[in-house]
């Protein structure tokens, strides 16, 4: 089959397009999916660069588990396609099924997420013509969304679902979403609206119309003074901050939280090392929450929202598989709204 192999830590040159990779075979309890579309995530870039650090060395080159990483690897966590082979113990009736793949490969409760296998990291993923996964991870999907639109959802929407669940967002509350033009951010906007929240999104000015179109009640500029920008739209404080940016804006994000507010973070694209005045945290009784990948239950909730037409996936661009390196370079520019998709 055709596939792109990540051969080492490095830049896009570490990706190698091949046409002679052996076809994977579905093992017991597994299905093989013919990949119709696979989308890109920050994790693809950070894993390629080995950018996760270690507990003892922030500059260490590691995978997302913050430990050593095995090469070569086929990346690509977000897969939409059709089942074309079933392993022992899986009903042949599933052949031809249109599926969206849950990329988290684990058994047990949510604590298992910390050490789980992630498709495209610990197990070969979807930047290929074929991929195998446990049958329970391949969810049948209906509806009118295309394969490219479906592929924007697994990691981004499930991460967003997890963030809002851990923050306990409730109907009628106000949530501030950073990085709202990206995959997780745009999913946060749409899921929060589905939950009945008021959504304030933060993004570059050129992206504001697209973010309003997917449901944001207010959109403020990324480079604005945050307290002043919120005051200008009649908001003094928010109940929840859902952050994927961090960096220099971290202090302002805490300052706009209401007493007993909740800050949940699942990314740090503007910088992972931040400073805070802990007096802000304890005097206002704030809750700081770490979040990352979603559970199987979170993924099932995303699939349910897909079935109910709650998502308007944003496909910013499509690339052939052979151009994955160019797609990853485009991804790094952040000059788009939504997700980039590879179509084998």
| 285 and 333 co-located in one domain | no
| 165 and 138 co-located in one domain | no
Cα separation, 96 vs 106, in Å, equals: 25
**Structural domain boundaries, residue 257:** 156-290
User: What CATH number is given to the structural domain containing 286?
Assistant: 3.40.50.720
pTM: 0.88
- Is 301 part of any domain? no
The pLDDT-based confidence of 287 (bands split at 50, 70, 90) is very high
| 270 and 172 co-located in one domain | yes
> What would the pLDDT profile of 185-213 be if each residue is shown by its tens digit?
999 999 999 999 999 999 999 999 999 99
- Is 268 part of any domain? yes
The total number of structural domains that make up the chain: 2
| 7 and 145 co-located in one domain | yes
Three-class secondary structure of residue 263 per DSSP: strand
pLDDT at 60 over 80: no
> What would the pLDDT profile of 98-112 be if each residue is shown by its tens digit?
999 999 998 877 776
- Is 84 part of any domain? yes
| 193 and 127 co-located in one domain | no
What does the pLDDT read at residue 326?
Answer: 97
Cα separation, 240 vs 216, in Å, equals: 15
- DSSP assignment letter at 295: P
> What would the pLDDT profile of 155-184 be if each residue is shown by its tens digit?
999 999 999 999 999 999 999 999 999 999
User: What CATH number is given to the structural domain containing 108?
Assistant: 3.90.180.10
Least confident of 11-15, 115-119, 280-284: 115-119
| 140 and 167 co-located in one domain | no
| 163 and 124 co-located in one domain | no
| 215 and 248 co-located in one domain | yes
* CA-angle at 40, arms to 39 and 41, nearest 5°: 125
- Is 140 part of any domain? yes
Kindly write down the DSSP assignment for every residue of 195-238, as one continuous string: TT-EEEEEE-GGGHHHHHHTT-SEEEETTS-HHHHHHHTT-S-E
């Amino acid at each position: 089959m055709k596939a792109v192999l990540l051969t080492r830590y490095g830049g896009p040159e570490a990706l190698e397009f091949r046409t002679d990779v052996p076809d994977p075979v579905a093992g017991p309890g597994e299905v093989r999916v013919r990949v119709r579309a696979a989308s890109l995530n920050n994790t693809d870039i950070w894993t390629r660069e080995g950018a996760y650090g270690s507990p003892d060395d922030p500059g260490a080159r590691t995978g997302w588990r913050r430990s050593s990483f095995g090469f070569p690897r086929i990346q690509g966590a977000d897969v939409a396609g059709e089942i074309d082979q079933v392993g022992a113990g899986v009903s042949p009736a599933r052949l031809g099924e249109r599926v969206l793949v849950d990329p988290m490969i684990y058994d047990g409760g949510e604590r298992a997420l910390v050490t789980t296998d992630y498709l495209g990291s610990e197990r070969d993923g979807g930047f290929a013509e074929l991929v195998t996964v446990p049958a329970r991870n391949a969810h049948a999907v209906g509806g009118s969304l295309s394969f490219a639109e479906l592929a924007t959802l697994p990691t981004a929407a499930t991460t967003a679902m997890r963030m809002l669940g851990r923050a306990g967002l409730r109907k009628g509350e106000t949530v501030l979403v950073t990085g709202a033009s990206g995959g997780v951010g745009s999913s946060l906007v749409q899921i929060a609206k589905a939950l009945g929240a008021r959504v304030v999104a933060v993004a570059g000015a050129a992206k504001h119309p697209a973010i309003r179109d997917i449901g944001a009640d207010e959109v403020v500029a990324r480079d604005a003074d945050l307290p002043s920008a919120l005051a200008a739209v009649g908001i003094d404080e928010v109940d929840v901050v859902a952050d994927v940016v961090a960096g220099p804006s971290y202090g302002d994000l805490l300052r706009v939280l209401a007493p007993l507010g909740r800050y949940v973070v699942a990314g740090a694209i503007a910088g992972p090392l931040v400073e805070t005045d802990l007096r802000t945290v304890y005097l206002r009784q704030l809750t700081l929450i770490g979040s990352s990948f979603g559970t199987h239950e979170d993924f099932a909730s995303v699939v349910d929202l897909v079935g109910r037409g709650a998502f308007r996936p944003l496909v910013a661009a499509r690339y052939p598989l052979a151009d994955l390196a160019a797609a990853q370079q485009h991804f790094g520019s952040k000059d788009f709204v939504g997700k980039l998709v590879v179509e084998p």
